[in-house]
């Protein structure tokens, strides 16, 4: 995962992102601490590659501590021209229902 891409922090549901072919953006979603919830991508997008998530401290100057709130960061790269609606769900792996979902429309030019 590259640190040189633009970070979109806590996008609103329905946000839109425009990428050039081959360009990347980082998408950061706040993750509550000590709950067992984690953000996951639902489905497989056709026009973007989504790198596995990475957890980061909410404070870039402080290390992440076990059980503290964090930011889950996904790297999204435009792979072919077209549009995808990416759905990220916040859920516990052992529970069937998500407690939150964020949809981000990505258009690759």
pLDDT of residue 14: 94
Q: What is the pLDDT of residues 32-43, one digit of tens each?
A: 877 888 999 999
Q: CA torsion sign, 93 to 66 to 63 to 68? A: positive
- Domain boundaries defined on the chain: 6-108
Inform me whether the pLDDT recorded for 4 exceeds 60.
Answer: no
pTM: 0.84
Q: Which residues contact 89 (CB under 8 A, 6 or more apart)?
A: 39, 40, 42, 98, 100, 101
Strand partners, 102: 88
Inform me whether the pLDDT recorded for 71 exceeds 90.
Answer: no
- CATH number belonging to domain 6-108: 2.60.40.2020
């Amino acid at each position: 995962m590259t640190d040189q891409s633009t970070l979109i922090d806590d996008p609103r549901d329905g946000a839109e992102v425009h990428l050039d072919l081959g360009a990347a953006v980082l998408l950061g979603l706040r993750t509550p601490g000590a709950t067992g919830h984690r953000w996951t991508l639902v489905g497989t997008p056709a026009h973007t590659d989504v790198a596995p998530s990475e957890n980061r401290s909410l404070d870039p100057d402080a290390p992440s501590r076990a059980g503290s709130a964090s930011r889950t960061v996904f790297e999204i790269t435009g792979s072919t021209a077209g549009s995808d609606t990416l759905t990220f769900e916040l859920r516990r792996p052992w529970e069937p229902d998500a407690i939150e979902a964020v949809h981000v429309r990505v258009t690759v030019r």
